[in-house]
Structure 1
Amino acid sequence: MAKPNKKGPTRTVDITCAKCRTLLYKYRKGGKGALVKCFIERIVEDHTTSTCQCPGCGQVFAREMLIRGTPAYKMIGGKVHMK
């Protein structure tokens, strides 16, 4: 499988917790589909204290995994919102 584009997209989105609306990440997202995964190298600002856990309510919103050989967070459906 091909690796994600090194240059990355220029559009940034805010990723917030669906439960308490706390800002989790600012992320460079490509495409116009739903947020399924976040490649770690594309995260611009990380507002979490522990990996994949909301600092506001403590909810686990993603899982760490390798996607196409690159470290990424696989989002759990309905746990995060993208704006």
Structure 2
Amino acid sequence: MAKPNKKAPESCIDIYCNKCKAPLFKYRKGGKGLLLKCFKQRITKDFTLLPCTYPNCNMIFARETLIRGTPAFKMIGGKVFSK
């Protein structure tokens, strides 16, 4: 399988907790689809203290995995939203 593009996309989105509305990441997302995974190399600003854990309510919102040989966070459905 192909690796993600080397050049990061131009558009940047903010990812928030669905429960307490706390900011989690600023992420360079490519395409118009749903947010299913976040490649670690595309995260521009990280507001979390522990990986994959909300800073305020300490619940897990993602799992650390390798997708196409690249480290990424696989999002759990309904835990986050983006603007």
1:77 pairs with 2:77: yes
Residues 1-83 of structure 1 mapped to structure 2, 5 A cutoff: 1-83=1-83
**Matched letter for residue 15 of structure 1:** I
What TM-score results when the alignment is normalised by the length of structure 1?
Answer: 0.99
Runs (4+) off by over 3 Å: none
How far off is 1:8 after superposition?
1.4
Give the secondary-structure state (helix, strand or coil) at the position aligned to 2:41: helix
In structure 2, list runs of 5 or more residues that go unmatched. Answer: none
Give me the identity figure in percent: 63
Instruction: Look up the equivalent residue of 2:45 and give its one-letter code.
Output: E
Residues in 2 aligned to 1:46 and 1:6: alpha-carbon distance in whole angstroms: 20
In 2, Cα distance between equivalents of 1:33 and 1:71: 20
